[in-house]
Amino acid sequence: MLGFVLDDIFTSGHRSPSGHPERPARAEAVRDALVAAGIADRGRRIPTRVASDEELARVHGGAYLDDLVKRVPGNTGWLDADTYFSPGTWDAARSAAGSTCQLVTDVLDGALSQGIAVVRPPGHHATRDRAMGFCLLNNVAAAASAARARGAARVAIVDWDVHHGNGTQDIFWNDPSVLYLSVHQYPYYPGTGAPTEVGGDQAKGATINVGLPGGCGDADYAAVFDHVFLPAIARFAPDVLLVSAGFDAFEHDPLAGMRVTHGGFAAMANRLRAIADRTSAGRIVAVLEGGYDLDGLAGGMTSVLTAFARPAEPLPEIAPLPANMVARAAIEGTLAAHAAAGQPIPPATR
């Protein structure tokens, strides 16, 4: 059974300043679309809970958490030029992290098979010791660490947000038990995510970055998945697969320059659902990250629901390498970087 996290705290709790793109309407659009798609009949709602101190301490430094506790609860302000907080932000952020941890734990325990967490504030830019990019606590990193604490030997995180998840990469840079894979617009905010960023000395090959040029669309993303991500995930054989599901690569998103359609997100979700069946007993959880066009958010997450709530479809034929030579070079650059690091990614197969 599919489990899902939906709660008013992620809209009413974290209130945005006027004109800010990371606004409550984002979660409202996803919630309304999933309700219209019948999520209540296709899964089970997971009660919201705050993250424990232990869950947060696994992925964030004590001094950073202490600073958040002093500055954020009950107050209004900014942690950097992009990242605001309102009186209810601390409860919303802890609930986003805690509920995502609970969802992944329930999937590992067998109470659920797949999961979707519609939470905000987002998390993948939050590093061990810094808030940035609208993010305070790293939800997917907390969930991956919760999975490890629950007994998962290996966890994979696929991040298809248009912005590189520098925070998640930072947290797991030297952890060989967590495979982090990101496809993102590059160069772009936050400036990280080069193909040569392959992991620290203790985890060479456990970080995989494909930085695509602006203007890439469905076919380019399919090629990244088929030639890089799926072979790497199959070799790694994670016990659970997590998805940092940002929808700002959507063709009409105001904060980026990609051309992914609703169908492109469906293709990515279907591929991950299929590889999760092969490697992870179907255990897969998607966590909302970015996405600032409401139609892109609603349609994208509905595609994820459709892929997760039904039996996995067979993988399609291997997508050809992109006709766009810059996109092709990005894929080939990632493959070359991992070969040079002594961790070559296997060739695409079905």
Which residues are the active-site residues?
125
CA atoms lying within 13 Å on the CB side of residue 230: 28
Diameter of the chain measured on Cα atoms = 53
Query: Helices 294-308 and 24-36, interaxial angle, to 10°?
Result: 40
Strand 77-78 relative to strand 84-85, pairing? antiparallel
What is the rounded CA–CA span in Å between residue 102 and residue 50?
A: 10
